[in-house]
């Protein structure tokens, strides 16, 4: 869950997204773009989205680890995802709280505390495991599940994850061990919501009231660790849950602390005071690689770095102008120099990882290779400009966020190349808040070229296609380009009611039209990164590691 512009799930269906939810998706925009991405009482370059970093993986011993110290660079405001839905919260909460199903390391939905059965296009039945207990030893029941879901639908809660559940019509306990969730209309991506919504103990949640999720009311869960200490600015401490239903991790005690400076984390890891971190800044990857007794690795990410064209403003309403600029983007150079190789030149808005949810790796390669591509070619850029309405060139502003180092460097590269064909792009570095309010949120108070990145939430192409391409303001909340192609709008509607190859074909058509018409010019797909002390192995690392009980994947290296 790399987190360049924050994270919040967007579904392919219509929902009313509240402002706090939207800003949480956009609110971390500077993190990965600045070098770090990202996306709660106890008894290398890849060609397939699921490839795991070999630099971190390896065999582990059966040795117990008495304690593990981990670091994050930003604090979590709450352990309740209704109040805080960021990658920082995910790193903390996935240690102590379970979901009904899980997104596995092949980026497929798998059973976890429940087995999911899609009874119809709008009905999902969840059969709970009988051996799942909360930290206090009480059994998980269907009523706990119903409460954990239904609370997000309460408008008074103003849940940060309402966009995941906005299409939910009802959540009912069929029996003590079975829950039925009914949607108001088909949603092929609802299954991913079930891998994100965490299950809490109903009785404690009701008793805690508005304090739920705070340091004084740490939610009780069923996860691998009892979270015994939590401060909003200082992270968490967790101890093994004696009632855990699954295979216990080798780590007996875990501590996750907030350390804002990634360089401080690197030094502490080298010295043995810290054991690792997710989201090693791209600018520091080479330094981490050279650090003794420390290893860093990457996994194929799902975070697009892209240029957004204001299609309703001249001269960007001219496709030839958009094509000219697209040919001025040195994607290979940006991946190599700006991302330090931790990424891949993008040939479409949804990344490889988004397609892995619906296609095999071979099918992904075939499809991506068939898409219209805009190579770095100044001669073709000149030809496109000469055929445009501004053949003599023009001047325009390009906006980036102040704390987005990747975006700033990429925009500077683009501006230098565009100048060679007669297009003067004036770099405007503004605050993240101003970028969000004026340029990113559709329809946009102001119109201009924007270079930024955005975070993924689930491995399905609609994770990107819907918010960027839909003309429905409740769905296309990132469509500040003003893209309103009728064929795309119809295809977005149609894909909701079908499954399998029929749906894939519609999604591919949408992506192809997007590449042809260029409301956005994809630049790169940014990789997920992690660093760890050399005596440990971190297995199965990928872009969604934060959603899972990640401590389970760490062990003493068997060298």
E strand or H helix that includes residue 507: helix 500-517
Given pLDDT bands bounded at 50, 70 and 90, which one contains residue 455?
confident
Mean per-residue pLDDT over the chain, rounded: 89
Q: What value does the mean pLDDT take over residues 199-223?
A: 97
Q: Is the pLDDT of residue 391 over 70?
A: yes
pLDDT of residue 41: 41
Q: Is the pLDDT of residue 44 over 60?
A: no
CA distance between the termini of the chain: 30
**What pLDDT, in 10s, does the model give residues 162-188?**
888 989 999 999 999 999 999 999 999
Q: What value does the mean pLDDT take over residues 363-377?
A: 97
pLDDT of residue 475: 84
pLDDT of residue 54: 60
CATH architecture classification, 300-527:
Roll (3.10)
Given pLDDT bands bounded at 50, 70 and 90, which one contains residue 106?
confident
pLDDT of residue 26: 45
pLDDT of residue 531: 96
Phi, psi values for residue 251, rounded to 5°: -80, 120
**6 vs 380, higher pLDDT:** 380
Q: Is the pLDDT of residue 239 over 70?
A: yes
Four-residue CA torsion sign, 158, 159, 164, 169: negative
DSSP readout, 408-423? HHHHHHHHHHHHTTTE
- Residue 301 contacts residue 322 (beta carbons within 8 Å): no
Report the C-alpha gap between 482 and 447 in whole angstroms.
10
pLDDT of residue 547: 82
**How many CB atoms neighbour CB 184 within 10 A?**
13
Given pLDDT bands bounded at 50, 70 and 90, which one contains residue 35?
very low
E strand or H helix that includes residue 227: strand 225-231
Give the distance from CA 524 to its chain's centroid: 15
CATH topology assigned to domain 19-298+528-556: D-Maltodextrin-Binding Protein; domain 2 (3.40.190)
**How many CB atoms neighbour CB 422 within 10 A?**
17
Here the tokens at position 32 are: 């990965």
Report the C-alpha gap between 510 and 461 in whole angstroms.
10
SS3 490: helix
**What pLDDT, in 10s, does the model give residues 458-468?**
999 999 999 99
Report the C-alpha gap between 296 and 529 in whole angstroms.
7
Cis amide bond preceding 513, omega within 30: no
Percent of the chain with pLDDT over 70: 90
Nearest CA among 3, 1, 7, 35 for reference residue 23: 7
- Residue 358 contacts residue 107 (beta carbons within 8 Å): no
Sorted by where each begins, the domain ranges of the chain are: 19-298+528-556, 300-527
**What pLDDT, in 10s, does the model give residues 281-308?**
887 888 998 999 999 999 888 999 999 9
According to DSSP, the β-strands at 343-345 and 235-240 are: unpaired
What are the residues whose beta carbons fall under 8 Å from the beta carbon of 31, sequence distance 6 or more? Answer: 3, 4, 6, 37, 38, 73, 74, 279, 403
SS3 424: strand
**What pLDDT, in 10s, does the model give residues 69-103?**
999 998 889 999 999 988 889 999 999 999 999 99
Report the C-alpha gap between 333 and 338 in whole angstroms.
8
pLDDT of residue 9: 28
- Residue 9 contacts residue 196 (beta carbons within 8 Å): yes
- Residue 37 contacts residue 528 (beta carbons within 8 Å): yes
Here the tokens at position 43 are: 């008894």
Given pLDDT bands bounded at 50, 70 and 90, which one contains residue 53?
low
Q: For the stretch 290-326, what's the b/e string if a residue is b when 16 or more beta carbons lie within 10 angstroms of its beta carbon?
A: ebeebbbbbbbbbbbbbbbbbbebebbebbbbbbbbb
What are the residues whose beta carbons fall under 8 Å from the beta carbon of 435, sequence distance 6 or more? Answer: 29, 399, 400, 401, 450, 452
- Residue 167 contacts residue 184 (beta carbons within 8 Å): yes
| Range name among 3-12, 169-178, 427-436 with the lowest pLDDT average | 3-12
| HSE (side-chain half, CA atoms, 13 Å) at 247 | 6
């Amino acid at each position: 869950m790399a987190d360049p512009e924050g994270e919040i799930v967007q579904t392919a269906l219509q929902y009313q997204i509240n402002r706090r939810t939207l800003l949480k998706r956009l609110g971390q925009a500077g993190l990965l773009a600045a070098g770090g991405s990202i996306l709660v009482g106890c008894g290398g370059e890849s060609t397939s989205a699921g490839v795991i970093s070999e630099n971190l993986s390896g065999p582990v011993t059966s040795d117990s680890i008495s304690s593990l110290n981990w670091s994050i660079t930003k604090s979590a405001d709450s352990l309740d995802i209704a109040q805080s839905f960021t990658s920082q919260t995910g790193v903390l909460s996935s240690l102590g709280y379970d979901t009904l199903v899980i997104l596995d390391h092949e980026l497929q939905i798998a059973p976890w505390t429940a087995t999911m059965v899609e009874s119809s296009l709008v009905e999902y039945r969840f059969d709970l495991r009988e051996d799942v207990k909360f930290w206090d030893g009480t059994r998980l029941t269907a009523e706990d599940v119903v409460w954990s879901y239904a609370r997000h639908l309460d408008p008074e809660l103003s849940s940060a994850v309402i966009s995941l559940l906005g299409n939910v019509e009802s959540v009912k306990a069929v029996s003590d061990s079975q829950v039925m969730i009914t949607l108001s209309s088909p949603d092929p991506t609802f299954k991913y919501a079930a891998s994100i919504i965490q299950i809490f103990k109903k009785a404690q949640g009701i008793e805690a009231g508005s304090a739920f999720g705070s340091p004084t009311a740490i939610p009780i869960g069923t996860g691998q660790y009892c979270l015994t200490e939590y401060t909003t600015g200082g992270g968490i401490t967790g101890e093994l849950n004696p009632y855990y239903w699954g295979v216990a991790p080798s780590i007996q005690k875990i501590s996750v602390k907030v350390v804002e400076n990634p360089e401080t984390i690197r030094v502490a890891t080298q010295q043995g005071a810290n054991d690792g971190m997710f989201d090693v800044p791209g600018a520091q990857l080479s330094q981490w690689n050279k650090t003794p007794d420390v290893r860093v690795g990457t996994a194929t990410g799902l975070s697009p770095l892209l240029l957004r064209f204001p299609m309703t403003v001249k001269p960007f309403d001219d496709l030839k102008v958009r094509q000219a600029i697209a040919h001025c983007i040195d994607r290979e150079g940006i991946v190599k120099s700006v991302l330090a190789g931790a990424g891949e030149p993008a040939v479409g808005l949804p990344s490889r990882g988004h397609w892995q949810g619906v296609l095999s790796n071979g099918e992904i390669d075939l499809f991506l290779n068939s898409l219209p591509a805009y190579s770095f070619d100044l001669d073709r850029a000149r030809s496109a400009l000469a055929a445009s309405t501004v053949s003599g060139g023009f001047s325009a502003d390009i906006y980036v966020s102040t704390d987005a180092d990747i975006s700033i460097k990429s925009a500077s590269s683009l501006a230098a190349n565009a100048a060679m064909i007669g297009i003067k792009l004036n770099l405007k570095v503004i605050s993240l808040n101003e970028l969000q309010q004026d340029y990113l949120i559709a329809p946009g108070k102001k119109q201009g070229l924007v270079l930024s990145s955005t975070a993924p939430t689930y491995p399905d192409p609609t994770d990107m296609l819907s918010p960027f391409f839909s003309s429905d303001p409740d769905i296309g909340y990132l469509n500040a380009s003003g893209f309103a192609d009728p064929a795309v709008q119809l295809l977005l509607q149609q894909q909701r009611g079908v499954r399998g190859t029929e749906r894939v074909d519609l999604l591919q058509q949408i992506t192809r039209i997007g590449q042809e018409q260029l409301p956005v010019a994809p630049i790169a797909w940014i990789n997920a990164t992690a660093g760890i002390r050399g005596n440990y192995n971190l297995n199965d690392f990928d872009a969604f590691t934060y959603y899972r009980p990640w401590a389970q994947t760490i062990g003493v290296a068997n060298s």
